[in-house]
Amino acid sequence: MSENEPLGIIGVGWVGLVSAVCFAELGHPIKAVDIDAEKVALLREGSTPIHEPRLDELLERNRDRILFTTEISEALEAARLLFCCVDTPPTYSGDADLSRVREVVANLRGDGEHALVMKSTVPVGTGASIVRGLAGLPYVSCPEFLKEGSAIDDFMNPDRVVIGAATDDAWAADAVAAAYAPLGAALVRTDVASAEMVKLASNAFLATKISFINEIANVSEEVGADVAEVARGMGLDERIGAAFLRPGIGFGGSCFPKDISALKLLAGNSGYHFQLLNAVIEVNELQKRRVIGKLTKHLGSLAGKRVALLGLAFKPDTDDMREASSLVLAARLEGEGASVSGYDPVAAATAAELLPGVELADTVEAALEGADAAVLVTEWPEFAHLDWALLGAKMANPLLVDGRNFLDPDVLRAAGFAYEGIGRPAAALGDAEPIGTADRGT
Ligand code: UDX
């Protein structure tokens, strides 16, 4: 088998595009297929439709190795491994919508020559059902664990590569393992259903960790503990680990909310009530709304008040706003009668579509102009280096709710702000110094 085996990538969203450029970087000729002709045209010109660090660079360097096309037949002609990377958004019921996966399968024949490698996140049992519907189709489950914002690095340095296949399809599993071999990651070879479950269980566990630390943060606020110190102390226990213990105003994105809902329903449909996941979901919803309480503590009724949202993407280094906390927050604030302004360094175009009621500003300064409060929603690095005394002076009232515990409370307080974090000792009412009289302490 050639080291540079040609690979077909079906669907060039986040997972597909990152996989395409990374496998090309590893030397594989790639046929990358998408039904969206506009997206294909854009990629052919060398432009990327999403914001992801290093993606442009890798695409540029590997343009000769990647053919973008709308024709799946081109991938079928060139490659025996077809990586299915189409999206599986939640349906109205919260189940995963597999219609795009089915469209891909409809183009395949069970000729035994082409294997379908499932990268899309699908419910456990999907592989078995696809193979039942198309006998003779070699099938490999190879879930993707990359994070938006660090997707290229995650692809190139995976903690593990999980490959699930039936014994009869060992040749396809071997070929997938060979494609990932240069990355030197731990390999988990298993059956299809277990591989599918690894993905859902991993995301559910990480989401549980976040909701857990968010609840610890909420209790810490009541009892005078600092959750950052608590997380530091907990994280040093190797059985717990320090990652994903950052409290905030809830998790969002295209994966966690949809995957935990899909796992909850998968369990429910098979007769098991996944109690813990219900709590994880509920805590996350309430966490987004707790900001309102922090604002009313200082401002009273929010009717007629102006609130600025700093950061609108679901996390930094992405323009993705799927399930972003900013969406819930903006709607809640508008519901309370507040007017909302917002700023995001890269998600402005997406925000214009999704947040029609929010006045989008080109700068932090413009977003804060005349505001009664600011909420830091996304921890964009550029927010760490702002002149808060200057910004506070633009506001009608210098109040900041730091939804990601990203800023130094002492710096903010010295700049004249009333500062509220998540699970940090709370600001007493009226603790803001008048702007101009405080030592900024930077
Ligand atoms: C996640 C998984 O990490 C990844 O393995 C999977 O393939 C897709 O889903 P992603 O959604 O890109 O990746 O982002 P991630 O960095 O995991 O963050 C998800 C959400 O959790 C964000 O809203 C983030 O702000 C939040 N988060 C993360 C916390 O609130 N606290 C933390 O400690 C970590």
Residue 234 Cα to ligand 1 midpoint, Å, equals 19
**Per-residue pLDDT, 195:** 98
Best of 315, 322, 378 to mutate for ligand 1, by most ligand atoms within 8 A of CB?
315
Q: Which atom of ligand 1 lies at the shortest distance from residue 259's CA?
A: 9
Residue 249 Cα to ligand 1 midpoint, Å, equals 13
User: What number of H helices and E strands is found in the chain?
Assistant: 17, 14
| pLDDT tens-digit map of 26-43 | 999 999 999 999 999 999
Residue 93 Cα to ligand 1 midpoint, Å, equals 23
**Per-residue pLDDT, 3:** 65
Q: Whose CA is nearest to atom 14 of ligand 1?
A: 147
Residue 315 Cα to ligand 1 midpoint, Å, equals 8
What is the arithmetic mean of pLDDT over 12-23? 97
Beta-bridge partners for 307: 340, 373
State what percent of residues in the chain have pLDDT above 70: 95
Residue 407 Cα to ligand 1 midpoint, Å, equals 20
Q: What H or E segment, with its residue span, contains residue 373?
A: strand 373-376
Q: Which atom of ligand 1 lies at the shortest distance from residue 379's CA?
A: 25
Return d(Cα 183, Cα 26) in angstroms, integer: 9
Return d(Cα 230, Cα 220) in angstroms, integer: 9
CB 90 within 8 A of CB 97: yes
**Per-residue pLDDT, 95:** 82
Q: Supply the DSSP symbol for 396.
A: S
Phi then psi dihedrals of residue 68, to 5 deg: -95, 135
**Per-residue pLDDT, 191:** 98
**Per-residue pLDDT, 312:** 97
**Per-residue pLDDT, 441:** 36
Task: Give the residue among 341, 210, 343 at the shortest CA–CA distance from 287.
Answer: 210
Does ligand 1 lie within 6 Å of residue 203's CB atom? yes
Would the pLDDT of 431 be above 60? no
Does residue 329 sit in helix, strand or coil? helix
CB 107 within 8 A of CB 72: yes
Q: Which atom of ligand 1 lies at the shortest distance from residue 148's CA?
A: 12
| pLDDT tens-digit map of 332-378 | 999 999 999 999 999 999 999 999 999 999 999 999 999 999 999 99
Task: Give the residue among 264, 241, 262, 260 at the shortest CA–CA distance from 251.
Answer: 260
Using 50, 70 and 90 to split pLDDT, how confident is the model at 429? low
Residue 328 Cα to ligand 1 midpoint, Å, equals 17
Q: Which atom of ligand 1 lies at the shortest distance from residue 121's CA?
A: 7
Does ligand 1 lie within 6 Å of residue 147's CB atom? yes
Quote the pTM value.
Answer: 0.92
Please, which residues have CB within 8 angstroms of residue 328's CB and are 6 or more apart in sequence? 250, 285, 288, 289
Q: b/e string for 265-287 if b means 16 or more Cβ within 10 A?
A: bbbeeeeeebeebeebbebbeeb
Beta-bridge partners for 342: 309, 360
Task: Give the residue among 42, 29, 4 at the shortest CA–CA distance from 12.
Answer: 42
| pLDDT tens-digit map of 143-184 | 999 999 999 999 999 999 999 999 999 999 999 999 999 999
Return d(Cα 168, Cα 48) in angstroms, integer: 38
Using 50, 70 and 90 to split pLDDT, how confident is the model at 329? very high
Q: Provide the pairing of β-strand 160-165 with 139-141.
A: antiparallel
Return d(Cα 115, Cα 121) in angstroms, integer: 17
Does residue 115 sit in helix, strand or coil? strand
| Residue 313, token pair as written in the block | 């993407």
**Per-residue pLDDT, 94:** 79
Would the pLDDT of 437 be above 90? no
Would the pLDDT of 438 be above 50? no
Does ligand 1 lie within 6 Å of residue 248's CB atom? yes
Using 50, 70 and 90 to split pLDDT, how confident is the model at 435? very low
**Per-residue pLDDT, 434:** 42
**Per-residue pLDDT, 90:** 86
| Average pLDDT score, the chain | 94
Does ligand 1 lie within 6 Å of residue 244's CB atom? yes
Beta-bridge partners for 274: none
**Per-residue pLDDT, 428:** 61
Would the pLDDT of 18 be above 50? yes
Phi then psi dihedrals of residue 417, to 5 deg: -90, 150
Q: Provide the pairing of β-strand 7-10 with 30-33.
A: parallel
| Residue 113, token pair as written in the block | 């020559």
* N-to-C CA span, the chain: 60
Does ligand 1 lie within 6 Å of residue 338's CB atom? no
Return d(Cα 72, Cα 35) in angstroms, integer: 9
| Residue 185, token pair as written in the block | 């990651």
Tell me how many degrees the CA angle 223-308-206 measures, rounded to the nearest 5: 50
Q: In this structure, which amino acid lies at residue 29?
A: P
Active site positions, annotated: 255
| pLDDT tens-digit map of 386-418 | 999 999 999 999 999 999 999 999 999 999 999
Would the pLDDT of 432 be above 80? no
Would the pLDDT of 439 be above 60? no
Q: In this structure, which amino acid lies at residue 55?
A: L
Does ligand 1 lie within 6 Å of residue 144's CB atom? yes
Return d(Cα 34, Cα 357) in angstroms, integer: 33
**Per-residue pLDDT, 111:** 86
CB 118 within 8 A of CB 140: yes
Does ligand 1 lie within 6 Å of residue 148's CB atom? yes
Alpha helices in 181-235 (DSSP H): 192-223, 227-235
- Positive or negative: CA dihedral 172, 174, 178, 183: positive
- Chain centroid to Cα 272, Å, comes to 27
What is the arithmetic mean of pLDDT over 305-325? 95
Does ligand 1 lie within 6 Å of residue 314's CB atom? yes
| pLDDT tens-digit map of 265-306 | 999 999 999 999 999 999 999 999 999 999 999 999 999 999
CB 93 within 8 A of CB 123: no
